[in-house]
Amino acid sequence: MKISITGLCAEAYGAETTAAWISDDNPAFHFALPAFAFVTEQDGEIIAVGGWSLTDKVDLHPIGDRLIENPTHARINAVYLKPGCEGLGLGREMMNHIEADIMDRTEIRDIYLWSTKNAIPFYLSMGYDAGVDEFPEVAAGFKIQIRYMWKKLE
C-alpha cells in the first residue's frame, strides 16, 4: 500500500505530503483489513489489492470494528495497484470483482468510495458519480483532497 501511495499519489499531492502520509512515524496512517479483501498476484508478487465492507451510513472514516446490524451500503475501502501496473486493466478487473462479490453476497446495490485525486478519472470511467470533496489530515499538518463517489449496482 505504501508503495502504491508513493508511486501513484505523489504527483497529485506532492512528495512532501506523500512522505508524511506514509511515514512509519505517522500515527494517523493505518490500514484496517476490510471484511472482504482480494489480491492479484503475478509471479508470486502482489500487484493489486482491493476490498469492501458493509456499512449503515456513508462515512469518511468508518469505525472498522463497529457491528453493522442493518447495512444499507457497501463501502469500497481500497483499491491499490503496484506502480508500473497501471493501464493493464488490473484496477478495472479488481473493481469488477469487488462489485460482483457485493452483488453475490448481499442485496445491497448502493456502493460508495472515497477517491484520491489521481484516481477520480478511473472511477468516473467505471460509472461512479462524483460528489463532494473532503480534505482530511493524513499526517500532522498535511491534508489531501479526496472525493466522495457512488454507484448503484444493477
How close are the terminal C-alpha atoms of the chain, in Å? Answer: 30
Per-residue confidence at 2, pLDDT binned at 50, 70, 90?
Answer: confident
Cell numbers describing residue 81:
495497484
Domain extents for the chain?
Answer: 2-152
What pLDDT does residue 67 have?
75
Per-residue confidence at 50, pLDDT binned at 50, 70, 90?
Answer: very high
Query: What secondary structure does DSSP assign to 16-33, as a single string?
Result: HHHHHHH-TT-TT---PP
Say which residue, 141 or 35, is predicted with more confidence. Answer: 141
Lowest mean pLDDT of 18-27, 117-126, 129-138, name the range: 18-27
Report the C-alpha dihedral over residues 54, 36, 121, 4, rounded to 10 degrees. 130
Mean per-residue pLDDT for 68-72? 87
**Per residue in 89-130, pLDDT tens?**
999 999 999 999 999 999 999 999 999 999 999 999 999 999
Q: Strand, coil or helix: what is 148?
A: strand
Query: How far from 74 is each of 42, 52, 119, 123, 139, CA to CA, in Å?
Result: 28, 7, 19, 16, 27
Q: Note the CATH number of domain 2-152.
A: 3.40.630.30
Tallying the residues shown for the chain, one arrives at 154
Contact 101, 139 (CB under 8 A): no
